[in-house]
Structure 1
Amino acid sequence: MKKQRLNKVAYCLFIFLIQSKVTAHAESFDAAFLSEGEGAEVDLSSFSRSDILPGKYIFDIFVNENYKANEEVIFKDNEAKVQPCISLQKLSSFGLDLTKISEKKLNQKSCFEYQQIKDLGVEVDTAKQTLSISIPQAYLNKDVRGYIDKSRWDNGITSAYMNYYLTGYYNSYHGDNANSVSANVLLGANFNEWRYRSNLFVSDFSDSPKLNITNNYLYKVIPSIESKIKIGELHSSGKIFSSNSYDGIQLATYDNLLPQSQRGFAPVIKGIAKSNALVTVKQGGNTIYKTSVQPGPFEIDDLYSTGSSGDLHIEIKEEDNSISSFIVPYSSLPSLQRAGHIGYEVNVGKLKNTEHLSDGLFLDSNTYYGLNNTFTIYNAVQLNNNYKALSLGIAANIGEFGALSVNTAYAKSKFQNWDSEGVSTSVLYSKSLMTTGMTVNLAGYRYSSKGYYDLSDVINEDNTNIRGNNKKARENITINQSLGKYGSLYTNYYKQTYWDGSKENNCMVGYNASIKNITFGLSYSNVKSDNKYSSNDKVISFNASMPIYYKDAKNSLSSSYVSYSADSNLSGDVSHRASFSGSLLEDKTLQYSASTRLNSGDFSGNVNLNYASRLAEYNIGYSKNKDSQSVNYSMKGGMILHEGGLTLGKNIGDTSMLVSTNGAANVPLFNQRNVVTDKKGYAIVSFARPYQENSIEIDVDKLDDNIEIAKSVKKVVPTDGAISKVSFDLKKGAKALINVKYQGKWLPFGSSVIDENDDQASIVGDEGKIYLSGLQEKQSYQIQWGRDKSCRLNIELNNLNEGRIYYGQADCI
């Protein structure tokens, strides 16, 4: 009875020690209290210095209460206690400004130099697996929100990859059959910071195959100038002048290199605090930013870009809880830049499809500069022997009146038999009226004189006389009006007129709303054109959708959707369509839809199935009406060639991740649709966000019993176009609970179990109990206790009792 009681005391003490925190003063504990008499030793020497033993552990790291990383931390003996090994180099990556801490030269790679920093605190919570670092504000770099240290950027592995999309179509119309099979392939290769991309398209496999290779180019991001360079078959952006295809070089600013809070346009907020205050920024009733400021003037220049418009409401809460507030009107346009920011693009090369031009060489460039919080100026140049154009513009955030930009361009064109010159002026406007819920997303007007042409007009010139067919004026406007709980109204209007008198009109108005789980919409559109493809289509449409909830095989809530829509051309013709869609199987890997349509007495129907396997995505559809029937099918997927072999998967994004699980097969990834590792232990996770933190997590709930993992979540920051390799250290092998003796006595309670890699594998419990995982047929461990006592434990599974967990006794020699 006494022995049983002492066992419980020992276990309680062990749990208490593991769940406590590292403190500045270690408590002493008389180990004799746990002694069970002759032969029962207890070694608490390590715990008397700290509640954690020397070794490597996975911890969440916080700096000033902000999460920074989840990574391995080494704990080492440092005189009287065990401490985490944190170098100044590591602290620098967490935001410590080394120039501010001391004039004394410190060894940045040493583990314990951080103790020399005054007021810097380090706290370890073993229960929560957290390492909290407190750095005085005066020692920190002033990093904007969303900043990620460049040391975390990952250029990825040397690799090649391919995306493929195979599609086929069969149609039978009144006995006439038609087949079509084609393939679209994207090729990519990565070497260090360089990327290669190319597109291949093969059409009409079944008849006369044609191969078309396009968009061959190399590119590289240049962080030092926040730009990207491309070489090969390219397209100019068309931000100001028309977009054109060419062979050459493009150098342009690349905003993805910037922290998210520096991308796009957002105003700088300036104010004055009377005391240590909390500043809150709201937009549309939602809090979008909070920060603490010291007494005196303050400036907020790291707001995230928050859409095209919406006034900002700023509240300053002082120490005495008094609140003052003011409003910063905010509207934006694509041309607006943050104060001091420069954006540019330069295209140099030879234009494509320009056989009739005297020279295909051209230059296309544009530059944007944010003068201040209000004005942005920009210009563009487009040059060719047959075409010369210059554009100047200014954009302004004009406060409560919205955002406005004005741009004027001059162009001189040389056609085969005649020359022309002219000007074009455009105006864009954006404004949000938060009090009424109305948003003028974009309103624009452009007028071009009779002699103004785009470079694309000169390139596309044919034998016809195009003088009278160039663009004259264009009007467009998009307005949204929120009605709160009653839904929203919207309207889109577009009109283009030409100098030959022809014009195009496109107008749509609509209403969207929802009642409980039912969403519905009503719209009217009018498309009118009096050019050579003259048409006049007026359509009124209604649509509604409703989910049907049900419990799936795992008793979790899932849903399918039923939808109905009707269209009428206002001439008595009405088309009705009803559909049903949803998903089945684990992880919703099988998606289905079925629909019927009734149009002027003509009934048609179609069904479609989409299945996402581990290696590819398959689609098949069938449709039929009174005159024809058709079948369409497709298959798409991707593959990566790397040093570990060839890995198959679904379509690969331009920036992706290759997961490695140390050879463990069939390891599922959390929150990824049917993605598991192959027999070599690899899996592909597509569509990563470049220069942002991407989390990859092993689904531990679905792991086999013979697999254990110390760290199931990893974070990676890939650069643009990279394929980042994310490796997890999984231990695949047996688990065992063994009672171990040394020289006829149980191993001391609290002894350390060290594996062949000098890592802490376990701690000895009561009666020499050791829990081990990842065991192979034969394994060896070093058992250490006291200051210089140790023994060797050799384990053979054949000598233990087999079960879900092996068990038995062993001797340490």
Structure 2
Amino acid sequence: MKIVPCCLILFPISAAHCSRAYGDDFDLSLMEKMDNLRGVDTSVLLKGSQMLAGDYPVALLINSEEFGQITQPFRLTQGSVQPVFTAVQLKARGIATDHAPAGLHPLAAFVDNASVTYDAGSEKLSLTVPQARLTPPSGDIAPQQEWNAGLNAARINYNLNLQRDTGGQSQNTHSVSSTFNNGLNLGNWRLRNDGYFRYQRGQSGHYQSSSSYLTRDIAALKSTFRGGDFFTNGKIFSSVSLRGITLYSSEDMRPDNQRFFMPAISGTARTNATVVIRQNGFVIDQRRVTPGPFAIRDVHSASSSGDLEISVNETDGSVQHFTQAFNAIAALLPPGVFSYELSAGRYRSSGAGSLTPSLYQASAFYGLNNTFTLLAGQQMASRDAFRYQNSGGGLGANLPLLGGMSVLLKRSETSATTTNDAARQGKQLETLFVRTLNQTQSTLSLSWKHKYSADYQEVSDAIGTAQHSAGSLAYHDQYNVQLDQSVKSLTLLLRYTQDRTWNGKKQHSSRIGLTMNRWQSQFQIYYTHQRDLRGSIDNSLTLNVQIPLGESQNHRAGFNSLTGSHGSSQQTASLNGSFLDDNQLSYDASISTQGADNSSNLSGTYSGSAGLVSAGLSQGTGYQQTLIGFQGGVLVHHHGITLSQPLGDTVVLVHTPHTRDLKIENNQNVYTDRWGNAVVPYAVPYRVNDVGLDPSSLNKQIDVPSAVERVVPTQGAIVEADFNARRHDRRFARISDSHRHPLPFGVSVQDASQSPMGTGGAAGVLLADFTHRRWPLTVSRNGHVLCHIAQPSASSVPSDASTLWKLSCL
């Protein structure tokens, strides 16, 4: 339905109010005879309605919370025009209905004790419902009915390098290499292929496919199906590459309060109170609660660890204080959330002639309550005489005072011969501990893997052993300790790892570092000590300094020094930064010295709408390398072919029909091409993405109904944001007769197709749109043709549309 212009509504509204005040009725039949109001009952304006029935853009508020811009239907109901809804629309906005009549009805027909207020001046529609009937949807994920599978389109991502090496061992070689990520989108299905191409002069080119797969969302299960080549998730068992099928929970389809563990905050308020939640000294959320028990389950933490400090500020001025333990680890899930993976396929190995058994794997995580998460998994593999299985189970916990912990016990069994030899059986215990202390700004992480026997094997180790090849070294214990300590602008880190084998040998690595951020500069110093199983020791000291140059901080100077064992050392001085308004031209220059050898490097990259172009030159003692690179993406879609910057998994195609050089906001140097297309290379799936046109690239010659479009793509989608922009050539022209006298007031002007262009005003001045007009123009008055205007030369058209254009009749 067309939206009635405001000027046509304001007058009858005013008239209606006056008529009620003075008891007079106004004849509105004249309005009903207007072309854009034919068939519309305008008498509703005399009965108190603020508008005619139709669909109007409004800003929606529910219980004073903003829900964004929507198009709201208004219908004649019970003698007045009111906003109407369906039960499905209300449910999507988190409103639980008391009644569910079919079709469009006012809010009161669905929810008892609800009210609606509409302000026509500000175009705000406010709904008020009882708090108990409102469960707002999560603000970080869009409603499922808004998810958009996107266009049917093809895509290519490429990283092409042309390289020339001279001197050294390479002598004189030229090579071309490129990685590719190819894809085809058909509805909800995504077909992908990853590959590598290399050509060297004197040799034939070769393309090697590394993986191919087909995937699609299963929204009802909040899961993703994938068939082809993939890696298992590695959360319980070590990650392996398979060729087969998998079905797994998609964390991206869930709101943040179901993706990441966050303990529920519960307490009791004596009055209408404000609950303030702090983490690491910063307020991360606050809520208004009514008297009685409360439970807050949707707080988003600012840090993955750090106890929560809760203050309940009562109306009478009293304050309750308590602390909620919070130390998140990967194994933890929010209460009631279930996550799983089911995989089956053939084991993939890069080695020729490798054993490739069939492998089946299942894993599951369940948030039992506010403290514990259960985890379990099963893995089986077999081929010919090879048999393998691994079972695992454990518990994740968020414990007060202690911290976040997880315990996982796994048991493997391997049989690789047809003889009566006993199967190799073993167990492994994996533990993890994370604790953050707000008072000291310290974070401690401890992990320990312990094998009860040397016969425990992960599946890749078991396959390697079955082939009589050297698998990974069987460790008895593996320890890892990490400590991060912050003191104002200083950050101290400690890292220590130790691996102990079954024959008593040990290897360890320790690292201590200090980072200071002052005066917009960064200073780092690290000391590393390593000892391998053979007893060889390697020590190194690293110093790194980064200093900004100028207030803009677009350029930085750096110095790096590395001193190793046996007196080896290397020093590097560098300068890097960016130029141009959008920082699209970046550079990096460095000089290094290592003993008697010197080397230098100079490189630059330009980021444009159609891709990235880079060039680099490196040289040192006896060698030189020249590199030219191209990175970008190609989209093939229903509007044509569009070149872009390197593509992420989920992208947005911006379409502004035949309107070029419009800048896409919040994207580096991305403009529409000559066909009006551009690509936003990265989008967030299942979330609202606001795609906007930069106002600085718009002018009065461009009509855009809205400069911002909201899109909600699914994973891997290519969604379109169509702005329906139109570039026109609207300008003032002074029309004169053949004697250079201005034509009289009120002349009509038409183009050669008899399309009206406008009416001349005083002194023969006409405001008209000259875009795609057919010449010659015809000037008439009272139905009589006065003259014709031939198409002027291009040189006579003013370059500035604000300059008066002089047109003369023949």
Offset at residue 618 of structure 1 (A):
1.3
Q: Distance in 2 between matches of 1:225 and 1:377?
A: 20
Correspondence 1:634 to 2:623: no
Counterpart selection for 2:262 from 249, 266, 277: 266
1:65 alignment counterpart: 64
Match of 1:381, as an amino acid? Q
CA distance in 2, matches of 1:797, 1:137: 70
1:319 Cα shift?
2.2
Amino acid at match of 1:156: G
Q: Distance in 2 between matches of 1:772 and 1:52?
A: 32
1:295 maps to 2:288: no
- Contact residue 731 and residue 774 of structure 1 kept, 8 A: no
Identity, % of aligned pairs? 26
1:586 is paired with a residue whose SS is coil
SS of equivalent residue, structure 2 residue 657: coil
1:389 aligns with 2:393: no
Matched, 1:521 2:517: no
Aligned to 2:415: 414
Residue correspondence of structure 1 range 415-564 to structure 2 within 5 A: 415=416, 419-461=423-465, 464=468, 469-485=473-489, 487-499=490-502, 502-530=505-533, 536-549=537-550, 557=552, 559-564=554-559
Q: Map 1:165-204 to 2 at 5 A.
A: 165-174=159-168, 176-204=171-199
Letter in 1 for 2:494: T
Give the secondary structure class of the aligned counterpart of 2:716: coil
CA spacing shift, 1:30–1:678, aligned 2, 3 Å: farther
Distance 1:778 1:729, change over 3 A: farther
The answer as to whether partners of 2:108 and 2:114 remain within 8 angstroms in 1 is: no
Classify the secondary structure of the residue corresponding to 1:411.
strand
For 2:545 and 2:355, how far apart are their aligned partners in 1? 57
Q: Say if 2:578 is the partner of 1:583.
A: yes
Does residue 312 of structure 2 align to residue 309 of structure 1? no
- One-letter identity of the residue aligned with 1:733: H
Residue by residue over 1:320-347, the C-alpha shift from the partner in whole angstroms, topping out at 9 and shown as x without a partner, is 2322121011112111111122111111
Cα-to-partner distance string for 1:716-760 (whole Å, 9 max, x where unaligned): 111111111111021321346899xxxx999xxxxxxxxxxxxxx
1:137 aligns with 2:136: no
For 1:665, the aligned partner's letter is: R
Contact between 1:88 and 1:114, CA under 8 Å: does it hold in 2?
Answer: no
Q: Which runs of 5+ in 1 are unaligned?
A: 1-13, 32-42, 551-556, 747-768, 780-795, 809-813
Distance 1:196 1:511 in 2: 46
Q: C-alpha separation between the residues in 2 aligned to 1:88 and 1:276? A: 31
Q: Judging changes above 3 Å, is the alpha-carbon distance between structure 1 residues 302 and 773 closer, same or farther for their aligned structure 2 residues? A: farther
Q: Provide the aligned C-alpha RMSD in A.
A: 4.3
Inter-partner Cα distance in structure 1 for 2:14 and 2:512: 67
Deviations 1:430-468 (A, max 9, x none): 000111111014433433521111110122237657599
Structure 2 counterpart SS, 1:204: strand
Give deviations 1:632-656, integer Å, cap 9, x for gaps.
Answer: 2221111111112111111111111
Rounded Cα–Cα distance in structure 2 between residues aligned with 1:677 and 1:638: 15
State how far apart, in whole Å, the 1-side matches of 2:675 and 2:471 are: 65
Deviations 1:219-259 (A, max 9, x none): 11212122111111121112121221121111111111111
The change in CA–CA distance for 1:770 and 1:87 in structure 2 (over 3 A counts) is: farther
**Distance in 1 separating the partners of 2:108 and 2:305:** 49
2: CA distance, partners of 1:444 / 1:460: 24
Structure 1 equivalent of residue 784 of structure 2: none
Deviation track 1:457-485 (CA, whole Å, cap 9, x = no partner) reads 12223765759942221111211011123
Q: Does 1:777 align with 2:776?
A: no
Alignment-derived partner of residue 755 in structure 1: none
Match of 2:28 in 1: none
Given the alignment, which residue of 141, 148, 151 partners 2:145? 151
Measured in 1, the distance between the counterparts of 2:405 and 2:651 equals: 39
CA contact (8 A) 1:86 1:111 kept: yes
1:378 is matched with which residue?
375
Q: CA deviation at 1:178?
A: 3.1
Are the equivalent residues in 1 in contact too, given 2:663–2:697 (CA < 8 A)? yes
Q: Does the 8 Å CA contact 1:59/1:72 hold for their aligned counterparts?
A: yes
Question: Residue type of the partner of 1:471?
Answer: Y
Alignment CA distance shift 1:451-1:731 (3 Å): same
The question of whether the paired residues in 2 share the 8 Å contact of 1:87 and 1:113 is answered with: no
> For each residue in 1:394-450, what CA deviation from the matched residue of structure 2 results, as whole angstroms up to 9, or x when unmatched?
121111111111111111122458642211111111000111111014433433521
Distance 1:24 1:340 in 2: 59
Find 2:680's aligned residue among 682, 685, 689: 685
Question: In 1, distance between residues paired with 2:665 and 2:409?
Answer: 53
Q: What TM-score do you get using the length of structure 1 for normalisation?
A: 0.81
Match for residue 653 of structure 2?
658
CA contact (8 A) 1:797 1:806 kept: no
Q: Specify whether residues 656 and 467 from structure 1 end up closer, same or farther in structure 2 by C-alpha distance, changes over 3 A only.
A: closer
Counterpart of 2:519 in structure 1: which amino acid?
Answer: K
Could you tell me whether the CA contact under 8 Å between 1:173 and 1:627 is conserved in 2? yes
The farther-off stretch of 799-808 and 354-363 is 799-808
User: What is the alpha-carbon distance in structure 2 between the residues aligned to residue 797 and residue 678 of structure 1?
Assistant: 37
* CA–CA distance in structure 1, aligned partners of residues 287 and 790 of structure 2: 62
Shift of 1:64: 3.1
Q: Deviations over 1:242-291 (max 9, x none)?
A: 22112111111111111122211111111111122221211111112222
Give the secondary-structure state (helix, strand or coil) at the position aligned to 2:465.
coil
Q: How far off is 1:799 after superposition?
A: 12
- Of 269, 280, 283 in structure 1, the residue corresponding to residue 279 of structure 2 is 283
Matched, 1:256 2:252: yes
Matched with 2:25 is: none
Question: For the residues of structure 2 that align with 1:775 and 1:61, how far apart are their CA atoms?
Answer: 38
| Corresponding residue SS for 1:609 | strand
- What are the equivalent positions in structure 2 for 1:27-106 lying under 5 Å apart? 59-72=58-71, 90-97=89-96, 99-100=97-98, 102=99, 105-106=101-102
Structure 1 residues 92, 468: CA separation in 2 closer, same or farther (over 3 Å shift)? Answer: closer
Distance in 1, Cα, partners of 2:73 & 2:15: 19
1:26 touches 1:50 (CA, 8 Å); kept in 2?
no
627-636 or 646-655, larger mean C-alpha shift: 627-636
User: Structure 1 CA distance, aligned partners of 2:337 and 2:770?
Assistant: 54
Alignment partners' CA distance in 1, 2:146 and 2:770: 30
Give the 3 Å change call, closer, same or farther, for CA 363–88 of structure 1 in structure 2: closer
Show the counterpart of 1:726: 721
Among residues 200, 210, 216, which one is paired with 1:214 in the alignment? Answer: 210
Q: What is the rounded CA distance, in whole Å, between the counterparts of 1:114 and 1:671 in structure 2?
A: 43
Say which structure, 1 or 2, has more relative contact order (CA 8 Å, 6+ apart).
1
| Partners of 1:737 and 1:59 in 2: CA distance | 35
Q: Against the structure 1 CA distance between its residues 211 and 445, is the aligned structure 2 distance closer, same or farther, given a 3 Å change threshold?
A: same
Tell me the alpha carbon deviations over residues 105-136 of structure 1, each in whole angstroms, 9 at most, x when there is no partner: 2523x689889975422333645x65444444
Query: Structure 1, residues 192-234: CA drift from partner, whole Å, max 9, x if none?
Result: 2111111121123432322211221111121212211111112
How far, CA to CA, are the matches of 1:717 and 1:798 in structure 2?
50
**Residue 95 of structure 2 contacts residue 136 of structure 2 at CA under 8 Å; is this kept in 1?**
no
Find the aligned partners of 2:666 and 2:788 in 1 and give their Cα distance: 36
In 1, Cα distance between equivalents of 2:415 and 2:326: 43
Post-superposition offset of 1:77 = 8.2
Aligned residue number for residue 676 of structure 1: 671
Q: How many Å apart are 1:29 and its aligned residue? A: 11
Give, as a single letter, the amino acid of the residue that structure 2 aligns with 1:247.
Answer: R
Match of 2:694 among 696, 699, 720: 699
